[in-house]
Amino acid sequence: METPDFGIPPRLAARLSMAEQHAYLRSRLSRRRALVTAGMVAGGAVAGGALTGCGAGGSPDRPGASRSSASGLAASPVSGAAVVPFGRHLALGDDPRTGMRVSWQVPAPVRGPYLRLGSRPDDLGGRTPAEVRALNTPELRGIRAAVEQYYVHASLTGLLPGTTYYYGVGHEGLDPADPAHRATISSFRTAPVTPGTFTFTAFGDQGVGEAAAAGGRVLRGADPAFHLHAGDLCYANPTGRGTAGDTYDATHWDLFLKQNEPVARSVPWMVTTGNHDMEAWYSPDGYGGHLARFSLPGTGFDPRSAPGVYSFVYGNVGVIALDANDVSYEIPANLGCTDGRQTAWLARRLRELRAADGVEFVVVFFHHCAYSTSSHGSDGGVRAEWVPLFAEHRVDLVINGHNHVYERTDAIRDGEVGRAVPIGGRTDPVRDGTVYVTAGGGGKDLYGFPAGTPESYAGHVHDTESVPALRWTRSRDTPQERVEWSRVRYRGFSVLSVTAHAGASPRLEVTALNHEGERVDAFEVRRGG
């Protein structure tokens, strides 16, 4: 069935950028003022900033996200006691040793939202005020009803490193310290001061469903310190072109957050933006919804216009999140949206991390693949803009999604195989180059590999001299290439698990597990080894 263009003639829609489509729709759609809900903004205890500027959609007379304020209180139509928070999810603070961001959702407006924190579940402390970000999805007559969603955020700073904390969330009429709500209390642990051994997990392209939920159960079994989500989060926008003609169901986010809450309420869920996460209804760059739902580290070049771009250090690992929509040749809705600022920031941040005391490894994650042979192939824009920087700074591991499979390269240096890395093998990025992992088996419908290309994974190794692949060019042509770098290929759901070791023998132990917990791949990264 042809996708409707919601008032934009198809030929016109094909010529307009996302910002131009947004302006066109604003001039044609009936506007509904966003219902600004209750909350308090109190100095450093409150996360985020005004949702204004590029990618924010913060003005109340247009579709987008609006912050609550103490002077903008709106009465809830129901008692606060009847409004039950859900969809709790964490994110690391700018410094994971001393900060944590806690987010949740409420199904109706509330007054005075807050968080209680303590060292024991039966001894929660005082109230830390929280901020409500209301998200208005306008009605499209004959297509969908208007939707109002309410996301709540609290930013915690000044925490003790390496410490387990218990927390509960509430509002006027609902106190998590009440014994009746004891079951809603959860916990998290801050990063230690001294690097030790820890694990983090990763995947992309999750969606909502049994396979998506199963991935959460597998990663929970790995007991990670945090989880990297490489984009295409819930598929509320199933079309994924990043245009106003995409179909869209905002309520799908409610299902996504409920599904992941058993894990995300205690494991920081570090997300970035994929093509299905560009939602044109919320801002010129489609990220107003992302700004409303998530409270991520503010360490990128511009957290308000590029919320999926940030960096943090945990133990001996520096992590960089990027928004590949900015450089993608395949899906050009946001191509060039940062006007080069993201790539300039990436270059600076790689230099800083390589010079930082205690940072032994650098891991980068984003959505579109630099190297993959599956359905979408490789994105030439990623290769042109970022791969040279990864090579210059000898990035240790790059994690992508986009292709709904598991695929892993050999170590790649100067576009060629720098060293073959078989399952169970070892690589040195300084000598050999960078290993790229496509971890797109997070739960959405699976893809495959080119005809005649065998899968090759632990227990089922089928090495081939070369395999066919395609690569997107700026002109959006897809020339075929035969590549030698595709080492592991698995058409199944999977979770990537990375264990970082510090001390006398620093290394990354990288393992991929299927949803039955069986090993699909394993290799080791040692610098100078």
Sheet order of strands, 269-271 included:
269-271, 226-229, 198-203, 494-501, 507-514, 519-525, 426-427
Tens place of pLDDT per residue across the chain (529 aa):
333 333 444 444 445 555 554 454 444 433 333 222 223 222 222 223 333 233 333 332 233 444 443 223 344 567 899 999 999 999 999 999 999 999 999 999 999 999 999 999 999 999 999 999 999 998 877 778 899 999 999 999 999 999 999 999 999 999 999 999 988 999 999 999 999 999 999 999 999 999 999 999 999 999 999 999 999 999 999 999 999 888 899 999 999 999 999 999 999 999 999 999 999 989 879 999 999 999 999 999 999 999 999 999 999 999 999 999 999 999 999 999 999 999 999 999 999 999 999 999 999 999 999 999 999 999 999 999 999 999 999 999 999 999 999 999 999 999 999 999 999 999 999 999 999 999 999 999 999 999 999 999 999 999 999 999 999 999 999 999 999 999 999 999 999 999 999 999 999 999 999 999 999 999 999 998 6
Question: What pLDDT is recorded for position 308?
Answer: 97
Identify which of 36, 58, 62 has the alpha carbon closest to the alpha carbon of residue 48: 58
Contact 148, 254 (CB under 8 A): no
- Which token pair is 370? 């630099």
Give the domains, in start order, of the chain with CATH numbers.
31-186 (2.60.40.380), 199-231+309-525 (3.60.21)
Question: What pLDDT is recorded for position 62?
Answer: 31
Q: What's the helix, strand, coil split of the chain in %, to 5?
A: 20, 30, 50
Contact 227, 201 (CB under 8 A): yes
Question: What pLDDT is recorded for position 142?
Answer: 78
Question: What pLDDT is recorded for position 50?
Answer: 30
Distance in angstroms (rounded) separating the CA atoms of residues 113 and 170: 6
**H/E element, 253:** helix 252-264
Question: What pLDDT is recorded for position 17?
Answer: 52
Burial of 54 (0-12, 13-18, 19+ CB in 10 A): middle
Sheet order of strands, 114-120 included:
123-129, 114-120, 164-170, 186-189
Classify 313 as helix, strand or coil.
strand
Question: What pLDDT is recorded for position 19?
Answer: 52
- Which token pair is 313? 């250090």
**DSSP symbols for 96-162:** TTT-EEEEEEESS--SS-EEEEEEETTEEEEEEE-EEEEEEE--BTTTB--EEEEEEEEEE-SPPTT
Question: What pLDDT is recorded for position 144?
Answer: 81
The predicted model scores a pTM of 0.88
Contact 459, 179 (CB under 8 A): no
Burial of 147 (0-12, 13-18, 19+ CB in 10 A): middle
**Radius of gyration of the chain measured on its C-alpha atoms:** 22
Distances (CA, A) of 476 to 14, 327, 479: 14, 13, 9
Question: What pLDDT is recorded for position 1?
Answer: 32
Distance in angstroms (rounded) separating the CA atoms of residues 303 and 341: 12
